Structure 1
Amino acid sequence: MINNVKRKKAKKKIFLESLLVFFIAISPFLYKAYEYLPYNSDGDASIFGMIIGNHGFPSTQTFLWFLTSKIVPLYLLVFWFLTSRDWWYHIIIIPIAMYSFQMFEVFYSSDHYIDTDNIWWLIPICMITIPFVYFIRIKLYDKHVHGIDLEAMEAELEELKAKGYSSEKTDLSIEFKDDVIQKEESNTDMSTGTIENFLKNIQDRIQGWLHLKF
């Protein structure tokens, strides 16, 4: 029974990964698909029985070119975000948001201009994501280059307390730990752990829904 469940999960995982590979492989062809769609005498395109107009663009072909130039990079970035295991993968949220806002502006903006005000919509996302990734880099640099690991130091201090060591014997360690903490707190007043766990939970939850574990 357990083997059957594992086989089903493995089959679904391979199927979904194959879909990812397929859409990545055909991305150049999807980008140019607008050139080969059937257009009627009015210049409108017909896709699966749906008639698509120009939506304010000079022509329907120009409109579809704009869409494909946003949709293809957007879904490739989403795939990258879902499958990445690099420490800096959170920064991919910024270009994802950029393309999403550009798509939103095309369909819901009341003026006749595109790619204008959406840059200001990115500022709040950049203000959160960029410092967050930078602070992760600081932690990694301190841990792997300087050899400073606050979590290991905390665990060591707790172990010393559990063994009954007096505070006098651990004053130097505590002072060193406080110096490191003050150094990091001078760079930021926000906790990166909470945001990191939040973004990690989003990625893991989506991968759980799709049964994608890389």
Structure 2
Amino acid sequence: MDRLQQKSKKRKENSLNGVNNNLSRTAILGTIIATFISSTPLLYLLHESVPDTAVWDTFLGTYESGFWESAQYAMWVYTGKVVPLILMFIWFFTCKHWWYHALLVPIVMYSFQIITSYHAELENTDENQILILLPVLVIVVPSIYLIRAKMFNKINMSNKTLEEMEAEFMIKPKGVWSKVKQYF
């Protein structure tokens, strides 16, 4: 009987260590994400370290501001679009709600703005965004509405709460990479 109790005790210890190990990974990842989010004002202010000249020489290469006429102004434009895009990606990959696909719309919008800002030879940088966003909107908006309608139909037919319905509709990939692979 002693050996059986010892084996049982070792199994409990091993299972507790696995939970603690998983918990510590989650805590570390959460700490990294929270630190990055809280440091985004510093990322946004990086444009102030760029010289106010048309050509900026760095160890990575030379940047010519072209249409913007000032490297500092160009970096201000880029940081004003890249920082929200990064925050949207973090929100998208960490969101646990059924509606997180709606975040694809602002992600595509900011991506399009960055691309058109890079090709700043066009005078009207933020024009015609709706033409690029339209295919995304055509897919995302009806699918979110259908999921919502299906949820509320099931709520009316059953005794489940809204949280239980959200959990039922939620797609739960095991990690960030599997969540990315889910879309491609």
Superposition TM-score, scaled by structure 1 size: 0.60
Aligned to 2:143: 132
Alignment of 1:62-211 (within 5 A): 62-108=73-119, 111-144=122-155, 146-147=156-157, 200=171, 204=173, 207-208=176-177
Q: Secondary structure at the match of 2:67?
A: coil
Counterpart contact for 1:44–1:60, Cα < 8 Å: yes
CA distance in 2, matches of 1:99, 1:110: 18
Instruction: Work out which structure has the larger RCO, using CA pairs closer than 8 Å and 6 or more positions apart in sequence.
Output: 1
Matched to 1:68, the amino acid is T
Deviations 1:158-185 (A, max 9, x none): xxxxxxxxxxxxxxxxxxxxxxxxxxxx
- RMSD (CA atoms): 3.1
Instruction: Tell me how many residue pairs correspond in the alignment.
Output: 157
Give the gaps of 5 or more residues in structure 1: 150-195
Separation in 2, partners of 1:208, 1:3: 26
SS of 2:108 mapped into structure 1 = helix
Partner Cα separation in structure 1 for residue 127 and residue 175 of structure 2: 31
Q: Does the 8 A contact of 1:82 with 1:207 survive in 2?
A: yes
TM-aligned CA deviation for residue 63 of structure 1: 0.7
Tell me if 1:13 matches 2:23.
Answer: no
Task: State the one-letter code of the partner of 2:130.
Answer: I
TM-score, normalisation: structure 2: 0.69
The amino acid that maps onto 1:21 is A
CA distance in 2, matches of 1:54, 1:72: 20
SS at the partner of 1:114? coil
Name the larger-Rg structure. Answer: 1
Q: Does 1:28 align with 2:48?
A: no
Any idea what the Cα deviations from partners look like across 1:39-90, whole Å, max 9, x if unmatched? Answer: 27x4444556544331421311111111111111101111111111112111
Corresponding residue for 1:58? 69
Unpaired runs of 5+ residues, structure 2, are: 1-13, 160-168, 180-184
Match for 2:122: what amino acid?
Answer: D
